[in-house]
Structure 1
Amino acid sequence: MLFHFLKTVLKLFYRKPEWEECNDVRHSPAVFVINHNLSYGPVIFFLYAPFTAHPWVIAPVTQIKECRSYIRKDFIEKELGIYGFTGKMLAFAISFICVWIIRRVHAIPVFSNSRKICITMQKSLEELFAGNHLVIFIERREDQNYAPDTGFLELMDSYYRATGNCLPVHILKISKRSVKLVETFHGISQHARIRERVIRLLQEINEE
């Protein structure tokens, strides 16, 4: 009940974009790679996606204390421009809601640069074996080298070794007006092409 109420409230502030060419990509399981677009990408997907998918999230935001710091720096200050005591209080309140939502949607924590990345891969495979989608939000790094984390390529390998089937990867581009399917990949041998398309997507978004 609370979950649906929260979505209803958020929809008052976020207009539904048009979902272009996305009706034929619902066959489970698959990985959806979408540009982050600050907080806009995850929020729009959370509110309006025509299918359900479990997101990858950076491990720190799954814990209240770490999430509070992340929210204050990357959302309250960077996006809203609110600093000082007011910013800290907003981050304090939002962090509880954020962690609750993350747990509610069964998000998978990503332990980058750590041996715990094995946990990320294991949980991801469990969801895929259960027939569920995964969604991964990517963003341009501050050094502008357009080198996105592509752990999902390793996930494709692991899935293939375990099942003998190729894991579909759908690249979507999200903007204020629409969510558009850019390209779909099905083969393990297409890793280089997937990386190339993800980097090109980030370049296009940065140039807009």
Structure 2
Amino acid sequence: MSNFYGPLFKFSRWILSLFYKKYSVDKVANFKGPVVYVSHHQNMHGPIVTLLSFPKPLHVWALHVFFNKHICFKQYSEFTFTKRFGWPKTLAKIMAFPISRFIPKLIQSGQAIPVYRGSRSIMDTFKKTIEVLNAGEHVIIFPNIDYSSSSATVGDLYDGFLFIEKYFFKETGRHICFVPLYASKKKKALVTGTPIYFRDGHKFQEERKFVLEKIKTELNALAIQSGDDQGKEEKVG
């Protein structure tokens, strides 16, 4: 598998490595064929640590608002910095301007896949995802509904990403491999759970609920096995 990351993404990872220690890797790179890793967001802890430490390139699912500088500016100035952080509107706009110019270039350099939640354009998300999986490349998804929570355990998850299975199976006749991936703060390691597949002979809608629960259970088990404090919020790194 070739490293599809662009120069800006690679440079940013190098800068990040000066401030954050890379996590060790537990058998992450040993899976055969394309994989969809499903991980725990933990208020940016998961994405930062994983994209910094993972030994192979990953296509991360990211909300489409971060791919366009104008929409990105609106997201940061009218929601992230104001509603989430409680900043004054003027300060939010000042800070959002340079960030909204940088973030779209960064995630496009990282070959992220835009997610159009609640829109017909979501089909573009699945089309691109199947394309990279068929090329033997890997995808990572952080489906937390409450992505701002720093708890080690996983709460409710969006389940729309599981339609990847439906479209992948329709095109290839094979089940896609979903692998739970957890970034342990205590162990300073990326740990993986048991690969999860849709089973033959089951209706998709029923099996989707089953697989989602298995992923959630596996991620929580990895947190407990890693000894992470489930109640205390910790900083990344």
TM-score range, shorter chain: 0.7 to 0.9
1:184 counterpart residue number: 195
Structure 1 position 173, deviation (Å): 1.3
TM-score for both structures, normalised by structure 1: 0.83
2:29 counterpart residue number: 23
Alpha-carbon distance between aligned partners in 1 of 2:81 and 2:37, rounded to the nearest angstrom: 23
Matched, 1:52 2:52: no
CA contact (8 A) 2:62 2:115 kept: yes
CA contact (8 A) 1:35 1:202 kept: no
The alignment partner of 1:155 has SS state of helix
Alpha-carbon distance between aligned partners in 1 of 2:73 and 2:118, rounded to the nearest angstrom: 22
Matched, 1:150 2:150: no
One-letter code of the match for 2:87? Y
CA contact (8 A) 1:57 1:109 kept: yes
Q: 165-174 vs 145-154, which deviates more?
A: 145-154
TM-score for both structures, normalised by structure 2: 0.74
Alpha-carbon distance between aligned partners in 1 of 2:9 and 2:62, rounded to the nearest angstrom: 19
2:37 counterpart residue number: 32
Matched, 1:133 2:115: no
Matched, 1:194 2:211: yes
Structure 1 position 167, deviation (Å): 0.7
The alignment partner of 2:128 has SS state of helix
Alpha-carbon distance between aligned partners in 1 of 2:40 and 2:9, rounded to the nearest angstrom: 24
> Given the superposition, is the C-alpha separation of residues 60 and 87 from structure 1 closer, same or farther in structure 2, using an over 3 Å criterion?
same
Alpha-carbon distance between aligned partners in 2 of 1:102 and 1:76, rounded to the nearest angstrom: 23
Q: How many residues align?
A: 204
> Given the superposition, is the C-alpha separation of residues 52 and 118 from structure 1 closer, same or farther in structure 2, using an over 3 Å criterion?
same
User: Where does 1:85-104 land on structure 2 (aligned, <5 Å)?
Assistant: 85-104=90-109
The alignment partner of 1:149 has SS state of coil
The alignment partner of 2:100 has SS state of helix
Matched, 1:105 2:116: no
CA contact (8 A) 1:53 1:133 kept: yes
In the alignment, which of 168, 177, 196 is matched to residue 168 of structure 1?
177
Matched, 1:83 2:94: no
Structure 1 position 47, deviation (Å): 1.5
Alpha-carbon distance between aligned partners in 2 of 1:77 and 1:10, rounded to the nearest angstrom: 27
CA contact (8 A) 1:157 1:188 kept: no
> Given the superposition, is the C-alpha separation of residues 47 and 76 from structure 1 closer, same or farther in structure 2, using an over 3 Å criterion?
farther
CA contact (8 A) 1:37 1:174 kept: no
Structure 1 position 70, deviation (Å): 3.1
CA contact (8 A) 1:156 1:188 kept: no
1:6 counterpart residue number: 12
